[in-house]
Structure 1
């Protein structure tokens, strides 16, 4: 399986992601410049975290209009896989490859910590190595991670199984106390209707070796490989 890691001006998790794919998982991977449009040779493209284009206007909006992001739309239509992490999630929502929007955290602060998450749907290409309702721990680091979608869309997403991860506490309780940013319904990660695009605010690439405190993120990458 061949991976590509998107690189925009201001990306800062691109090397972390590249390292995991190449050195931890021993898979073929390239960096892909934001001006590139020829991406057919890849099976999965990862849009990493960071501050693409300085987060000017709002996070992800400028990157969503680049040649690479526009090429992702046809890439997705062909049934290939895309994962957007943190700023990558923001880019994918701005490009309308995923529903909803990422708003500023409800407390107005940047938040950086390990966060527990509950797996809501493990029947996707990105979560097959996880169990339904499994509690995992991944780092979060964001200022605009407050996921929002209108009530009608939320109901439809719930019915179709598009809600993949929710913020919770160590015991799996999904409530206001375990919500780090005000996301509607504690949503931390979602898929598109075809389940070949996955966006999440937590950073699985920062949780793929036990020395980092958790290797739960590895299961997400192993799921797509398998």
Structure 2
């Protein structure tokens, strides 16, 4: 099958991406809905999740992506492979994160990955970056305690800013003493990560965990 050609960057603040999120019936998507959920934000063509879902059938995977042709292509590939623990969803995540996470049973979200998001280098364009305070707050509200956030970029400024947005929220703590995590904690690398390492250039990784808060009787 010919690879779909799409624009590499799209403006997430454009009116065309402000349409309401159409949330599927998750019970129809995932036969085992109560399995832990891994959310990959900005999944691109979905190669990372296609491989992860094959390795971990006991986990449900959800990839969200703003470029709809890539979502269609990824779901077609999933169907050809007969995977029942994987789905791809078209949305502008900063407008849709709250209703999306709210649509799942509580406690299922246990992993979130954001890998090589668009850097939007111009100062005036930073509001287009995917990691914004509202996104962090929604993830903090719905991510299960002691669960994991994995961030990586080939742009140090972007990786640092993502980490700062999460760490300013008292729910999250960094899981390594060094500034950057040396190795990817997942057994699968994204296409962008492989290309960056082959140049060779640096990848800036951060692993965060949601703290466990004691909830005693008030």
Flag whether TM exceeds 0.5 (same fold): no
User: Normalising by the residue count of structure 2, what TM-score does the alignment of the two structures yield?
Assistant: 0.38
Larger Rg, first or second structure (1 or 2) = 2
Per residue, is there more helix in 1 or in 2? Answer: 2
User: Normalising by the residue count of structure 1, what TM-score does the alignment of the two structures yield?
Assistant: 0.37
Per residue, is there more strand in 1 or in 2? Answer: 1
